[in-house]
Every structure is written in C-alpha cells, then in structure tokens.
Amino acid sequence: MSPSDYQITPTPDPPIGGWLLLLCLLLMIWQPLTVGLTSSRALNSIALGGLPVALVLILRLLVTGLGIAAALALLHRRTGAVNLARVVLVTSAATDVFVYLTPYFPSNRAPGETPIFIAVSLVYYGAWILYLSRSRRVQRTFANR
C-alpha cells in the first residue's frame, strides 16, 4: 500500500438546519414576499407622495436584496456570513422603525398601533441577532470561517 492510500478524505459539512435554516428561509422567501406585496401597494402612492415614497421603496428593496445575499452566504458557509446577517437584521430593523415613524410610506395602521409595530419588529430582529450571537450551532458551523 502506498501512502496515498491512507489519505483522509474530508467529510462534507452537514447541511444547514434548525433555526439557522429558518432564518435563511425568512431572509430569502418571507422578507422578499412581504416587501414585494407592500411595495406593490405603495406604487400607486408615488404619484401623491413623490420622491420620498420612491426612495423608501428603493431602500426597502436594497435591504431585502442584502438579506437574500446574507441568506445565501449562510447556506454556503461563506466567511463573514454571520456578520453580514447581523448587519442585515440591524438594517432591516432600522428600516422598519423609519417606515413606522415617518409619513413617507403609506400604511393602514390604526392610531396608536405604531408603538406596537415598532416593539414587535425590534423584538423579532433582536431575537435573531441574539440567536446568531449565542447559538452553539452557529458557532460550530462557522468556527473555521
């Protein structure tokens, strides 16, 4: 037997699963769907709201695209994927708060509901950021990256 017969072949990484897979699916499917639906309803408001509405639409589309990129980076275990996902979650939360607090984007929220929407949004994104920071699975998956 030659020394090459004793080569150790690396085992492939197990697929992304659990909560990390759910986060990837939310960033790749759920966020684009919700932004697409709200943006399609807001397109009619560009005539009335003008440039501010268009700029908020562009901002939301850019953040959504960045979210898709983060999800793909997580799925393919790219270097910096977790940090990119954290940045996406922070920018998504900031965008939501901006949309909720300013009159630039049309909404159908009832009076007094805005603080509830802000709180729910911040808890949602904060929980995902906490998960990425504290999860042992995430740390093990991206330890070498």
pLDDT of residue 109: 81
Q: Identify the band that residue 21 occupies on the pLDDT scale cut at 50, 70 and 90.
A: very high
Provide CB contacts within 8 A for 28, sequence distance 6+: 67, 68, 71, 72
Contact predicate 104/49, CB 8 Å? yes
Q: What is the largest CA-CA distance in the chain?
A: 79
Structural domain boundaries in the chain: 17-141
State pLDDT tens for residues 83-139. Answer: 999 999 999 999 999 999 988 887 778 889 999 999 999 999 999 999 999 998 898
pLDDT of residue 9: 58
